[in-house]
Structure 1
C-alpha cells in the first residue's frame, strides 16, 4: 500500500510540474541591421603586380559612379594561360565575362621512380609459446 501511495504521489507531482508554463526570456542578441550606413561613393582604382621570382602576374582596375560598378582583372595562371574577367555590377546583380588567352602548357609526363625504403629498426624476436 505504501508503494502505491508513493507512485500516485510522484505521478501527480509530475502532472502538476508538466502543466506549469515555462518563463520566456528575450534573446540577448540584437537582430542584425542591414541598413546602408552611407550613400555609395564614386571611386576608381587600378593596380598591378608582376614579380618574376614568384611568378605572380596579375592586375585589377575598377570604376564606379555610385550606382554602377565596372571593372576587370587579369591573372596569369600556372598553366601559362591568362584569365581576364570583365564585370559589371548594378541593382540587377553581378555579371562577369570570363575569357582566356593563350594555350595551356603542361610539363612532359615522366613516371616517378620508386625504391623500396630501407628498414630503420631492428627485427623483434617472435614470441615462443609453450604448449600445455
Structure 2
C-alpha cells in the first residue's frame, strides 16, 4: 500500500514494528529496564503485508458495493385505447371508452341511473388543461309511488318449559 510504505519510509516504522536483533542489549545499563520490544526479524514485514491485504480487501469491497450507472431508457409518449361495458342481471348498465396519444386524452362513459335516466359524459384533456367534460342525460326520471314496508305480526310468545318433579 502506498500510504503505509510512504509512512514507513518517511517517518520510520512505529515502535511496535521496530526490530531488535537478539544480540543487541535491550536493557538500559543504569535502570536495568527494557528499552524496546524484541521481535523476530520478519515481524515488520508480516505486519506490513497484513496491512496491505486489509487495505486491498477494503478497496475491493468498496468497489463492488458501488452501484453501476445505468442511463435512463428513452421514454415514449403514452399511447393507449381501451373500452369496456357491463350489463348484469341486477340492472347495472355502464361502460367506458378512453384513448390517449401523448398529452391528448379523450373518452366517454355512460351509466344507467337508478331513476331510469342514462347519463353520458364526454370528456377530453389537452396538455395541462385538466378534464373538460360535457354531461348529457337521456330519458325522464321515474320515481315509483311510495309503498309502505310490510308489517310484521306480533312476535311469538314462548311458554316456560314444563317441570317434572
TM-score (norm 2): 0.44
Hey, which of these two has a bigger chunk of strand by percent? Answer: 1
Structure 1 gaps, min length 5: 1-37, 121-132
Measure how far apart 1:79 and its partner are. Answer: 0.5
Return the match for 1:56 from 92, 106, 109: 92
Larger radius of gyration: 2
**Equivalent-residue separation in structure 2 for 1:84 and 1:73 (angstroms):** 6
Hey, which of these two has a bigger chunk of helix by percent? Answer: 2
**Equivalent-residue separation in structure 2 for 1:64 and 1:112 (angstroms):** 49
**Equivalent-residue separation in structure 2 for 1:44 and 1:102 (angstroms):** 29
Structure 2 gaps, min length 5: 1-74, 158-165
TM-score (norm 1): 0.54
* 1:17-57: CA deviation from partner (whole Å, max 9, x where unpaired): xxxxxxxxxxxxxxxxxxxxx55411101110011x22110
Asked if the contact 1:87–1:94 (Cα under 8 Å) also holds between the matched residues in 2, the reply is yes
Greater relative contact order, per chain length (Cα 8 Å cut-off, separation 6+): 1
Alignment of 1:77-92 (within 5 A): 77-90=113-126, 91-92=128-129
Alignment size in residue pairs: 86
Q: RMSD of the TM alignment (CA)?
A: 2.5
